[in-house]
A = this chain, B = another copy of it.
Amino acid sequence: MSDPEGFQKVSEDAHRSNEAVNSNPYGPNPADFLSNVSNFQLIESTLREGEQFANAFFSTEKKIEIAKALDEFGVDYIELTSPVASEQSRKDCEAICKLGLKAKILTHIRCHMDDARVAVETGVDGVDVVIGTSQFLRQFSHGKDMNYIAESAVEVIEFVKSKGIEIRFSSEDSFRSDLVDLLNIYKTVDKIGVNRVGIADTVGCANPRQVYELVRTLKSVVHCDIECHFHNDTGCAIANAYTALEGGARLIDVSVLGIGERNGITPLGGLMARMVAADRDYVLSKYKLHKLRDLENLVAEAVQVNIPFNNPITGFCAFTHKAGIHAKAILANPSTYEILSPADFGLTRYIHFANRLTGWNAIKSRVDQLNLHLSDEQCKEVTNKIKKLGDVRQLTIDDVDSIIKDFHADISTPHVRPTEPVPHVIEGLEESEVKRPKN
């Protein structure tokens, strides 16, 4: 990320986000016996769900490059498109299985023996099966009833298990399925030894308290791990994933930048932001967070999108502080206005000082960077001049620097230079202290 106009790079202090979390009276409760917030795993689905993103077309070489980058980041599982989706999908699946990655390789199929027979021959470590259980999908998609679904599931699960690889059974559109139907089928597949059961918010309708209730209920019914998959249509995919972990889910489906059907699923980077805020030590022990930005750039380029301006962590302003009252406190202690440390992600913090909302603490910091010497009173005075010009037009760093340098020259050589006002500065601001509250 290049330095945009008007930003000031600040040296990184020891960050106290963990202390901040620990002092939070409403923070994660270690006594919550259901929670897997400090014991979660990632199923990375950029090469499956992500391939369903409108702009995605991954060549074999690009798939391998992405799989290797995900493996280096440290994801626990990599999920691939079904080998029966197309001939090339099958070949790519086999090629990725042969890479010898640390991450386990999964493929994702319909709950059908035709698909399962192909999947188990690809060399994957596990198979994720899914079938629609909601009234909508049963009526308008596959047209099967719950008995048929249960019979198919048992047949496919026992077949995949006989090959000695992992098997997950997931319902589709779980939050619009009948609760009793869901619990019945999950209990059935758990009894015959499925490795994981999956809950999927296929349409993005779920909200956090629903998620917590459903996961907690399911947790009381099955012994295997619970995996969750959340679409982001109503903007809750990260929060739903976090709440699912609180309720006892163990694995979360993610993709880089959240790419997938429609506006996608839980994004890897956004979930990392959430989880670092909850348990920084666990996340740092498992995942190479400083590789996040390169990973996002790799995928963004492959699918021809820009990193959203407001992306968690890597958005261009995620660690930029602008209001004067913020800048003052951040300069004293970054934890005042940051729950995440940019250094954890190999990034840096910026104090935006070239604007009308700036304060004298931010300007003083810039004066120090320019290696000039001004008293606090003088910094307040020059800040007034800067804010006054900032009221008239958008400021650049050069504007601010030249106002500061002219001011400094004025007070340093009062009898040599004429005492006329600094160019472009309009008289009249009555206050030097920062005047802008913030929450």
Contact = CB atoms under 8 A, between A and B. Distances in A.
Given A205-B24, A274-B207, A236 B242 contact: yes
Contacts of A82: 435-437
Contact of A179 (B25, B51, B239): B25
B323 A109 contact: no
Contact of A140 (B115, B232, B332, B428): B332
A198 B438 CA distance: 12
Nearest to A356: B86
A170 B439 contact: yes
Given A141-B325, A236-B274, A242-B236, A23 B176 contact: yes
A296 to B, nearest CB: 12
A169 to B, nearest CB: 11
Interface in A214-234: 214, 229, 232-234
A126 interface: no
Contact of A262 (B246, B264, B321): B321
Contact of A308 (B81, B204, B310, B328): B310
Given A53-B322, A234-B273, A263-B311, A339 B390 contact: no
A123 interface: no
Contacts of A4: 54
Interface string A264-296: 100100110110011000000000000000000
A136 B172 contact: no
A294 B252 CA distance: 35
B238 A235 contact: yes
Interface string A1-41: 00010110000000000001101111100000000000000
A429 to B, nearest CB: 7
Interface stretch (A312-320, A366-374, A407-415): A312-320
A22 B136 CA distance: 13
Interface stretch (A67-75, A184-192, A253-261): A253-261
B319 A387 contact: no
Contact of A130 (B273, B326, B338, B437): B437
Given A323-B52, A439-B200, A84 B431 contact: yes
A238 to B, nearest CB: 4
A402 interface: no
A432 interface: no
Given A87-B429, A115-B437, A202-B438, A235 B274 contact: yes
A172 B394 CA distance: 28
A86 B20 contact: no
Nearest to A217: B26
Contacts of A352: 54
Interface in A186-212: 198, 200, 202-210, 212
A314 to B, nearest CB: 10
B439 A229 contact: yes
A246 B306 CA distance: 35
A65 interface: no
Interface string A349-384: 000100111000000000000000000000000000
A135 interface: yes
Contacts of A213: 26
Nearest to A269: B235
Best-buried of A21, A229, A439 by chain B (most CB within 10 Å):
A439
Nearest to A178: B25
Contact of A305 (B7, B309, B437): B309
A405 interface: no
A170 to B, nearest CB: 6
A122 interface: no
Pairs of residues from A and B, 9 with the lowest C-beta to C-beta distance, nearest first:
A239-B239, A308-B308, A235-B238, A208-B208, A200-B439, A235-B270, A26-B210, A110-B437, A88-B391
18 contacts: A23-B176, A52-B323, A86-B387, A89-B391, A136-B336, A139-B333, A141-B328, A205-B339, A207-B246, A208-B239, A209-B212, A233-B312, A233-B318, A233-B338, A234-B277, A236-B239, A264-B310, A308-B308
